[in-house]
Amino acid sequence: QVQLVESGGGLVQPGGSLRLSCAASGSIFSISAMCWYRPAPGKERELVAAITSRGSTNYADSVKGRFTSSRDNAKNTVYLQMKSLKPEDPAAYYCNADVLSQNAGWGGWYERNYWGQGTQVTVSS
């Protein structure tokens, strides 16, 4: 089993910055895409940022130029640096990862998608 644990959320003033972290632990051989999601009107969640194992990134138009995703593959950790936070940015931010694992019993490989529990970001003066 794999666990994703987010941290770094909190209260920040408009225009301020926060850095979110998401650490994956458990039965991990490798992690391909690591993503950040948040709730959006009309959707359950919207993709905020995605980063591949090689560091290629993709961002929602609403956060381009303000948010930057990075990752430390050795630590199985992804980061989301958020700058110039706006009143529409507050939300619970969820980490998501595609993880390749090997079953210790039968030795087979399997890939599963996991979610973290979310970390809350509040923007208020």
Q: How far is CA 81 from CA 31, 46, 63, 104, 113, in A?
A: 20, 17, 11, 36, 23
E strands, 14-90, where? Answer: 18-26, 30-40, 43-51, 57-59, 67-72, 77-82
Report the pLDDT value the prediction gives residue 104, as an integer from 0 to 100.
83
C-alpha closest to that of 71 among 111, 20, 118: 20
User: What is the number of alpha carbons within 13 Å of residue 120 lying toward its C-beta?
Assistant: 4
Report the pLDDT value the prediction gives residue 40, as an integer from 0 to 100.
87
CA–CA dist 92, 84 (Å, integer): 17
- The amino acid present at 78, given as its one-letter code, is V
Q: pLDDT truncated to tens, each residue of the chain (125 aa)?
A: 899 999 999 999 999 999 999 999 999 999 999 999 999 888 889 999 999 999 999 999 999 999 999 999 999 999 999 999 998 887 899 999 999 999 888 888 899 999 999 999 999 88
Report the pLDDT value the prediction gives residue 107, as an integer from 0 to 100.
84
Report the pLDDT value the prediction gives residue 38, as an integer from 0 to 100.
94
